[in-house]
Amino acid sequence: MTAFGLPGPMFWVFVATIVAGSLGALHFLIVHVALGRPVVETLPPALAREGQGAPGTGSAEGGGPE
């Protein structure tokens, strides 16, 4: 089988690449647009860590060299 002059395996690699790049968009359109679920702006409690908040311009959590 050939498509656009390409052998089947090579053609499917091209298709897979476009699908791979579009996975995020497909998810966003289905979950957040079609199903209307809001985007969660915070971490789930199980993954939350101390020290969240607006980043300062100094060190990440106020500490320097240990």
Q: Which residues contact other proteins by CB under 8 A?
A: 4-7, 9-10, 13-14, 16-25, 27-28, 32, 39-43, 46-47, 49, 51-55, 57-66
User: What is the nearest approach in angstroms of other proteins to the Cβ of residue 65?
Assistant: 6
Structure tokens at 19: 């699908």
Helix, strand and coil percent figures for the chain, each rounded to 5: 45, 5, 50
User: What is the nearest approach in angstroms of other proteins to the Cβ of residue 12?
Assistant: 9
Cα–Cα distance for residue pair 30/33, rounded to 1 Å: 6
The residue (of 36 and 42) whose beta carbon lies closer to other proteins is 42
